[in-house]
Amino acid sequence: MRESVKIIPLAGIDLAGLEHLLAIKGVDSRYARRILYWIFRRGIRSFTEINDIPKNVLSVLPESFATGLSSPVSSAVSADGSVKYLFRTSEGLLHETVYLPEGNRKTVCVSVQSGCRMGCRFCATGLSGWRGNLRAGEIVNQVVSLPHDVSHVVMMGMGEPGDNIEEVIKAYNIITAEWGLAIGRNRVTVSTVGVTPAVKRLLEETECNLTLSLYSPFSEERREVMPAESAWPYKETLSLMKAFKADRNRRLTVAYVMIRGKNDTERHLEELNRLLTGTRLRVNLLPYHQVENDSDCSSDAETMMRFKHLLVTSGVGASVRKSRGGDIAAACGMLAAGGR
């Protein structure tokens, strides 16, 4: 009885890896770059779509390889023009992706896990539970398989990048490589609750922009809402970000979700100022989006603008992020992919 051959999805393989795999199969490794071009730039589903590689070479590829790309299973369009897509992996893991067009900037917000095990109380993804990690190819697929041009990628969808760091870094390398998607290194942003070992790797091994999700500058308050604070105190990540000598084009940012009466008081503002004045770290102030069975609500626009104004006048770069996709549950903290 013939043993079944394991089919390798190529969307998560780098150039050197594919050259090696082709050599093992007796295929000239010089074809690796063209194969990856067709996968990452042309989004092919079948090797038969390739027209510049000899047919005798193409004929042997399906015996061992698949492109690793798949189309979304559904989509929803917001009144503001953003689009939410639902993907399903070959193992059945559901995950959501959001496309955010704004002028010449075409951003895609990708997921790195199906669900999340960080358990942040202000995030629907964290409350939905964890179902599994996405592989690098499944992360990249969320960029390649959209029917849109993409200029920026943010890993701010479902899941914690620091909890899947190997695959996140592999995906980042594919997204930015000239043989991959060739998206600028400073056009990729990774958001984290502050998994300290992963933050060190992201700072040292990549050139991505990095965002720390803070919630509160007071550790005891943060721990109540973001359980990861117990394992990885946010001040460790903040210290790494402050000390890191980043290129001027590389943004290191603090994301601050504002909840009325919880973390938008004068006391919180003063502590944010104390922590960030004199650093190059910026602050993104985000409106809060309610999750199920939740009595909390977002700080009002006046309070958010006041926070921004006082931070800026203290020398801290700050901005208020506009909410997008709330009507289709695609805004920050709302992705759950049916997990609730």
Q: In the chain, what are the domain boundaries?
A: 8-66, 74-328
List Cβ neighbours of 156 (8 Å cut-off, separation of 6 or more).
109, 189, 191, 211, 332
Q: What is the pTM of this model?
A: 0.95
- What is the tens place of the pLDDT at every residue in 15-63? 999 999 999 999 999 999 999 999 999 999 999 999 999 999 999 999 9
Instruction: Give the chain's length.
Output: 340
Q: How far is CA 318 from the centre of its chain?
A: 21
Is 36 buried (19+), middle (13-18) or exposed (0-12) by CB count in 10 A? buried
pLDDT tens by residue, 134-181: 999 999 999 999 999 999 999 999 999 999 999 999 999 999 999 999
All residues at 6 or more sequence positions from 94 whose CB lies less than 8 Å from its CB, including other chains: 86, 87, 88, 114, 131, 337, 338, 339
247, pLDDT greater than 50: yes
What is the average pLDDT score of the chain?
Answer: 94
Question: Which architecture characterizes domain 8-66 according to CATH?
Answer: Orthogonal Bundle (1.10)
Integer angstrom CA distances of residue 30 from 26, 35, 41, 152: 12, 10, 18, 30
- For this structure, is 332 an active site residue? yes
Region 124-136: mean pLDDT is 92
Which residue among 116, 123, 208, 332 is the active-site one?
332
The confidence score (pLDDT) of residue 339 equals 57
Band (pLDDT 50/70/90 cuts) for residue 4 is low
pLDDT top residue among 216 and 294: 216
Residue 127 or 84, more confident: 84
Pick the CATH number of 74-328 from 3.30.360.10, 3.20.20.70, 3.40.50.300, 3.40.50.2000: 3.20.20.70
Within the chain, what is the greatest distance between any pair of CA atoms? 74
- Is 2's pLDDT higher than 50? no
Percent of the chain with pLDDT over 90: 88
Q: Is 208 part of the annotated catalytic residue set?
A: no
| Catalytic residue selected from 96, 138, 160, 229 | 96
